Amino acid sequence: MSASGEKLLNLTLQVWRQKTATDGHFETYQAKKISTEQSFLEMLDLVNEDLIAQGKEPIAFDHDCREGICGMCSLMINGEAHGPETGTTTCQLHMRHFKDGDEIVVEPWRARAFPVLRDLVVDRSAFDRIQQAGGYVSVNVGGAPDANAVPVSKKEADLAMDAAACIGCGACVAACPNASAMLYVGAKVSQFRHLPQGKPEAKQRALNMITRADKEGFGSCRNHFECEAACPKEIPRRVMAETFRDFTAAALTRED
Amino acid sequence: MTATTATPATSKKSGVDYPLSDLKLDSKIPAGPLADKWTKHKFESKLVNPANKRKYTVLVVGSGLAGASAASSLAELGYNVHCFAYQDSPRRAHSIAAQGGINAAKNYQNDGDSVFRLFYDTIKGGDFRAREANVHRLAECSRQIIDQCVAQGVPFAREYGGQLANRSFGGAQVSRTFYARGQTGQQLLLGAYSSLNRQIEAGKVKMHNRTVMLDVVLVDGHAKGIVTRDLVTGKIEQWSGDAVLLCTGGYGNVFYLSTNAQGCNVTATYRAYKRGAAFANPCYTQIHPTCIPVHGDQQSKLTLMSESLRNDGRIWVPKKAEDCSKDPSTIPEADRDYYLERRYPAFGNLCPRDIASRAAKVVCDEGRGVGPAVGGERLGVYLDFGKAIADKGKADVEGKYGNLFDMYAKITDEDPYKTPMRIYPAVHYTMGGLWVDYNLMSNVPGLFVLGEANFSDHGANRLGASALMQGLCDGYFVIPSTVAQYLANEKPAKVTTDHAAFTESTEHVTGDIKRLLAIKGKRSPRSFHKALGNIMWDQCGMSRTSEGLKGAIKDIQALRGEFWENVAVTGDADSFNVNLDYAQRVSDFLEFGELMCLDAAHREESCGGHFREEFQTEEGEALRNDEEYAYVAGWLYRGADKTPALAKEPLVYENIKLAQRSYK
């Protein structure tokens, strides 16, 4: 039982601090008496309490729900997006996965399309703009038919849900050598192409979203699949294959 | 508007003094039979013609289920919308964390459900402290919500034949809850977010991320704008509009530890209250029975385990206190106390949240709690899937709850397939909020309040899977009709930001920020927040007493005094300053906590989530006092050092009989 096995750790952190576009650098902090029951962000909270007590500005990092669903938290931890555990966001990474005396390097997501705003906080608004290019079914409120009017097989609904689990955190981009957003695009394209409601716009959606991703400065996919390995929600790589298929069909048949 | 000729009143038993306001809180409930009210009201409401809609601007604060659905629906109709979110994307609003499901009176299961039954369950679940007309409208709209979400491509769970699947939630004996694995809130929010994105692309919604609202601007008594702070640049900005919609969620973080996201706050609603909006029933808070227990004093948040787990999980503690430290697998059936099944045989493990939470507290207070002792007490009970796994197989349980089991394992490092989960109640939702009438408009004309931020639909206790229903009902279906009713009487773009009221508000906001930065104290905002949370949880949590609440009010005042002398706010006003942002939120909680305690002390009865130890039945159930307290308590701000004034809206029940709730 973990609760009885609580230990205290002393750690050395190398943390990226940045206030302007050009002053980024690492600073070293000691994190002392960190409980193995704490989460990684709770460890950073403690470091920040120390900094405030010294009259210094705390480390800025993005976080909100702290239960692995909002996608706000990020962080490259020792070079891995969301740290060493698979299928885990930084907010759900617990300190029991570290050892006493460890040195931990903490950096922001690194990608041209995600400029650093402050310390470990990056601007991910490019992700929203990709969704704005077509991540929806074009339907207004009112006039929807009864929800059971169109059956959806459990298999297709499950495939849609597997893709829809994406939390939009950006780990896929941070992990990709090309900073490609294809897993993120694919998650939305795949969700809708497996549902009858999303089918009419499926091909155009893939074309529009990929075109927007290119415009935002994300790289193209070269099948490294680092994204799949880093994804805290374990979105499968098949969503990208499905997206490329729709994209190709749309590109070959486009009329403009 | 707050022309208060105060008649001092003293409540007899608790001894808290508060003035009564002569403001009439008019609910504007339409006349006529319950089932016809909404249809009739929509027909009788004024409309804004399509060509004129584009002349109006609506400011929507918050982008959760209520905010995103309202912003996109109004934009679809042709209004110009500005939407504000403190997160870096509207998709991250805390609605996303709702796990279990959304209720709808579809009766797809043929188990006797109906609009009236959902209405009745919700009124009863709320311990008869909600408005009949609002709740009936919610039940009516519930069916359209599911239709709309399916049309948007929300991947709800399906049966093999392709039909939508349902499960059961607390406080209901029918299966009416729709779900998307354990991520229903996420999928519904992403549905609303997708509609919002479509309108952003169309240019009808202008989205402002990483922006907090710090004041509502009133012109001639009407809400005509807001003042915001850009969290990245620190820039204070003014926005004028024809109506303001607050969709800013609940205030559970006043307790420091809760299931809310770290950024959830009371700032928007509290500052609207300081501008004259009535705050209704702030003491009605929901303590959710199934959360992962507290593990230590450095914890920043509590994690919910969905109520849906109570469909198959059985809750128990050992009968004998000496068994509490034993490995649960070694405790024989005969020595286990399935206390919910014992006390409430009709509803068993699916009794409502307030009842399940209090029952857990009772057994732990008796010394029968389980798990490691924190601060000398074992605060936990078992949620056991042993029988479900034996009866239906591990694969079945994994299919329904797999992601919840994974989440539990990640946090606790225990395998819930092998050993029972340990759970304990935690602050989860707040039923109180800004007072609104049937049109969701506060007593400040032009200021509308939607979703968890208002008080309207859940009475003193919210049933599971009803929050998602209310947020979307308000945004997709109610506000498009009721905002038109207001705007039809208002000339468009009446006010611009060069009006003196914007200057006054901006000076007020920047003055507050300067004051905080000038203190240069020693104690962090988090430390104050934690101290406040301890006071609130001990005295205004699962059970409350008159003495405790009076002490809490004094303690909060003292803490607030120290805050304004000794808080450490580093950095400056014109940059990305997380510490300043946090300090502002804590400063509002430090005032709001006192208002909650006042409300809890004034309400000399127990109802739903508000349990006063002095008022209970012989069996330890909540004892209401319908003669004296069947009203909505709307508190009105009167100035920094003055006790707020109470305005009462009587609750009128025409269709159901008030009764003591029974789940036996």
**Per the CB < 8 Å rule, is B295 touching A157?**
no
Domain C-terminal end among B428, B457, B479: B428
SS3 B630: coil
State the best of A35, A56, A70, A98 to mutate against chain B, taking most chain B CBs within 10 Å.
Answer: A70
- Measuring CA to CA, which residue among A115, A109, A106, A105 is closest to residue A21? A115
CB of A130 within 8 A of CB of A143?
Answer: no
Flag whether residue A105 sits within 8 Å of chain B, measured between CB atoms: no
* Interface A-B: count of C-beta contacts within 8 A: 226
State the best of B77, B94, B190, B210 to mutate against chain A, taking most chain A CBs within 10 Å.
Answer: B190
To 10 degrees, what angle do helices B578-602 and B267-274 make? 60
Q: Which of A1, A136, A160 is closest, CB to CB, to B194?
A: A136
Closest residue in B to A202 (Cα) is B153
Single-letter residue type at A138: S
Q: What domain count does chain B have? A: 2
What whole-number distance in Å separates Cα of residue A80 and Cα of residue A175?
7
Positive or negative torsion for Cα B162, B163, B164, B168: negative
What whole-number distance in Å separates Cα of residue B381 and Cα of residue B290?
9
Closest residue in B to A2 (Cα) is B413
Residues of B with Cβ-Cβ distance to A133 under 8 angstroms: 201
Residues of A with Cβ-Cβ distance to B407 under 8 angstroms: 67-68, 92
For A124-139+151-253, which CATH class? mainly alpha
Q: Which residue has the tokens 């206790």?
A: B461
What whole-number distance in Å separates Cα of residue B494 and Cα of residue B496?
7
Q: Which of A88, A153, A198 is closest, CB to CB, to B153?
A: A198
Flag whether residue A165 sits within 8 Å of chain B, measured between CB atoms: yes
State the best of A7, A42, A65 to mutate against chain B, taking most chain B CBs within 10 Å.
Answer: A65
A5-15 pLDDT, tens digit per residue, is: 789 999 999 99
B140-155 pLDDT, tens digit per residue, is: 999 999 999 999 999 9
Closest residue in B to A140 (Cα) is B76
B314 catalytic per annotation:
no
Residues of B with Cβ-Cβ distance to A4 under 8 angstroms: 372
Q: How far is CA B646 from CA A126, B12, B219, B325, in A?
A: 48, 16, 24, 49
Shortest Cα–Cα distance, B274 to chain A (Å)? 27
Question: Whole-angstrom distance between the N-terminal and C-terminal Cα of chain B?
Answer: 46
As a whole number of Å, the CA-based R_g of chain A is 21
Give the β-pairing of B205-208 and B80-84: parallel
B431: which DSSP letter?
-
Burial class (CB in 10 A: 0-12, 13-18, 19+), A176: buried
Q: Which residues of chain A have pLDDT under 70?
A: 1-4, 256
Torsion of CA B611, B615, B618, B621, to 10 degrees: -30
Residues of A with Cβ-Cβ distance to B263 under 8 angstroms: 64
Flag whether residue A178 sits within 8 Å of chain B, measured between CB atoms: no
Residues of B with Cβ-Cβ distance to A194 under 8 angstroms: 155
Flag whether residue A71 sits within 8 Å of chain B, measured between CB atoms: yes
Q: Which residues of chain B have pLDDT under 70?
A: 1-14
Closest residue in A to B202 (Cα) is A132
**Per the CB < 8 Å rule, is B91 touching A128?**
yes
Flag whether residue A23 sits within 8 Å of chain B, measured between CB atoms: no
Q: Which of B406, B407, B412 is closest, CB to CB, to A2?
A: B412
**Per the CB < 8 Å rule, is B91 touching A6?**
no
Q: Which of A70, A147, A151 is closest, CB to CB, to B97?
A: A70
Amino acid B376: pLDDT: 87
CB of B265 within 8 A of CB of B387?
Answer: no
Residues whose CB falls within 8 Å of the CB of residue B547, separated by 6 or more in sequence, listed in order: none
What whole-number distance in Å separates Cα of residue B143 and Cα of residue B137?
11
A3-107 and A124-139+151-253 share one fold: no
Amino acid B268: pLDDT: 98
**Per the CB < 8 Å rule, is B183 touching A64?**
no
- Measuring CA to CA, which residue among B348, B284, B276, B292 is closest to residue B316? B348
Q: Which of B91, B296, B410 is closest, CB to CB, to A92?
A: B410
Q: Which of B187, B201, B262 is closest, CB to CB, to A66?
A: B262
3-class secondary structure per residue, B463-503 = CCCCHHHHHHHHHHHHHHHHHHHHHCCCCCCCCCCCCHHHH
| Active-site pick, B131, B353, B378, B585 | B353
What whole-number distance in Å separates Cα of residue B652 and Cα of residue B658?
10
Single-letter residue type at B405: F
Closest residue in A to B523 (Cα) is A53
Task: Provide the edge-to-edge strand list for the sheet that holds B7-10.
Answer: B7-10, B17-20, B645-650, B631-636, B279-280, B433-434
Residues of A with Cβ-Cβ distance to B416 under 8 angstroms: none
- Measuring CA to CA, which residue among A254, A237, A255, A236 is closest to residue A246? A254
Structural element, H or E, at residue B66: helix B65-77
CB of B459 within 8 A of CB of B123?
Answer: yes
What whole-number distance in Å separates Cα of residue B279 and Cα of residue B9?
19
To 10 degrees, what angle do helices A202-215 and A182-193 make? 170
State the best of A6, A41, A64 to mutate against chain B, taking most chain B CBs within 10 Å.
Answer: A64
Residues of B with Cβ-Cβ distance to A53 under 8 angstroms: 522, 524, 568
CATH number corresponding to A3-107:
3.10.20.30
Residues of B with Cβ-Cβ distance to A41 under 8 angstroms: 300
Residues of B with Cβ-Cβ distance to A71 under 8 angstroms: 89, 91-92
Torsion of CA B458, B461, B466, B471, to 10 degrees: 50
B368: which DSSP letter?
I
Amino acid B13: pLDDT: 56
Domain C-terminal end among B428, B451, B471: B428
Positive or negative torsion for Cα B138, B139, B141, B142: positive
**Per the CB < 8 Å rule, is B92 touching A96?**
no
Closest residue in B to A161 (Cα) is B155
- Here the ipTM equals 0.98
Query: Degrees (nearest 5) of the Cα angle B233, B238, B239?
Result: 120
Amino acid B402: pLDDT: 87
Domain boundaries, chain A: 3-107, 124-139+151-253
Query: Based on the domain organization, do B516 and B602 belong to the same domain?
Result: yes
Torsion of CA B542, B546, B549, B550, to 10 degrees: -170
**Per the CB < 8 Å rule, is A147 touching B164?**
yes
Long-range contacts of B330-339 (CB under 8 A, 24+ apart): B337/B363, B337/B368, B338/B314, B339/B315, B339/B363
Residue B435 lies in a domain: no
What whole-number distance in Å separates Cα of residue B539 and Cα of residue B377?
18
Closest residue in A to B199 (Cα) is A132
B39-68 pLDDT, tens digit per residue, is: 999 999 999 999 999 999 999 999 999 999
What whole-number distance in Å separates Cα of residue B399 and Cα of residue B180?
12
Count CA atoms closer than 13 A to B60's CA, side-chain side.
35
Q: Which of B73, B87, B108 is closest, CB to CB, to A148?
A: B108
SS3 A117: strand
Chain A residues 118-137 within an 8 A CB cutoff of chain B: 118, 121, 123-125, 127-128, 131-133, 135-137
CB of A70 within 8 A of CB of B87?
Answer: yes
**Per the CB < 8 Å rule, is A69 touching B96?**
yes
Amino acid B12: pLDDT: 54
Q: Which of B153, B371, B568 is closest, CB to CB, to A191?
A: B153
Q: Which of A6, A38, A135 is closest, CB to CB, to B194?
A: A135
Closest residue in A to B150 (Cα) is A147
Domain C-terminal end among B383, B402, B428: B428
Residue B384, domain extent: 288-428
Residue B276 lies in a domain: no
3-class secondary structure per residue, B132-189 = HHHHHHHHHHHHHHHHHHHHHCCCCCECCCCCECCECCCCCCCCCEECCCCCHHHHHH
- Measuring CA to CA, which residue among B110, B217, B609, B664 is closest to residue B447? B217
**Per the CB < 8 Å rule, is B299 touching A153?**
no
Structural element, H or E, at residue B429: strand B421-430
Q: Largest alpha-carbon pair distance within chain A?
A: 66
CB of B437 within 8 A of CB of B28?
Answer: yes
Shortest Cα–Cα distance, A203 to chain B (Å)? 16
